[in-house]
Amino acid sequence: MEKKLRELKNRFFSELKTVRDDDFLAELKIKYLGRKGELASILRGVKDLAVEEKPRVGQLANEIKKELLEVFGRTEAIIKKSAIRPRNFDSSLPGQRREIGHLHPSTIVQEEIEEAFAKLGFSIFDGPQLESDYYNFTALNIPEDHPARDTQDTFWVEGKNLLRTHTSNLQVRMLEKYGAPFRGIFPGRVFRYESTDASHEHTFYQTEGLMVDRNINIGNLIAVMQSLLSAVFHKKVNVRLRPGFFPFVEPGFEMDIECFICEGDGCSVCKQSGWVELMPCGLVHPGVLKAGGLDPEEYSGFAFGLGLTRLVMMKYRINDIRLLQSGDLRFLKQF
């Protein structure tokens, strides 16, 4: 009986060397350790042994069974881990090409802007897209009867809340939370209830910038803007500064950039003017500083609202803003 048990063990290890997949391993396990397997068949003869032989043979049978089970477990783990190739695998066939994702052009430019401002010591902040009337308008020196509200084309929701019409909604929020000195930008999505055309969309992106400290002036604003545009376009950019009115800055300006689509000759994007409105800007209005808990006699600052989507169009010479939100993969794969 002991000889039969050792022979069974040797046969098992010999057949184990030929295992190629888990199906064959399962068959081997049934053959040797199943209820009707070879080990069970040998053990049926234990009852016919002499009394003094039964303990020795029984102990040997248990040891062999335990060893076989351990080997089965290790072999199963090795087979699963190695992921053995199917028998019909042809290594000469070309593999399946894995699709590579594409960053949206707005994401590319936003990251360039964030990097440029980070080098100038600005922090990057995010805020709510569903905003209250107070932070979107009132705190920015735009009371309920102010005509500037009519130009915003606002999406209103319940409870006097709205989809923010500009990222300026974070100006007072940031001053309330961090005080002065403050230096930060707020990139994000904004919404306007207006008709769409080649240069207007109901959903687009802006980057608001705010710097507040002692003795801030227009020179600081212009220097920061020149550094930004040079970083994004990697060359000198023609700009012009003209007077503009915005309730939250005083004095206010419009900064325009020469149209990159037509190079100043006139097209549908620049409305045949050769210039594209890029950024309203100016010195922070004293009323906004007060709303943020600061003394306008002690602090001053500048703010700007950069049209990030229009900057994208200029950088990549995109002649229709609607392409950016179209979800057309043919368009996105170019970037």
Helix (H, G, I), strand (E, B) or coil at 97: coil
In eight-state DSSP terms, residue 235 is S
In eight-state DSSP terms, residue 197 is B
Which structure tokens are listed for 194? 């207006």
Query: Is 250 annotated as a binding-site member?
Result: yes
* Contact yes or no for 43/5 (Cβ under 8 A): no
* Contact yes or no for 297/78 (Cβ under 8 A): no
Peptide bond into 251 cis (omega under 30): yes
CA-closest candidate to residue 280, choices 165, 155, 147, 131: 165
Give CA–CA dist 83/68, Å, rounded.
23
Give CA–CA dist 75/84, Å, rounded.
13
| Alpha helices, H only, 235-298 | 286-291
CA-closest candidate to residue 24, choices 81, 110, 105, 84: 84
> Which residue numbers belong to the known binding site?
250
> Which residue numbers belong to the known binding site for Mg(2+)?
250
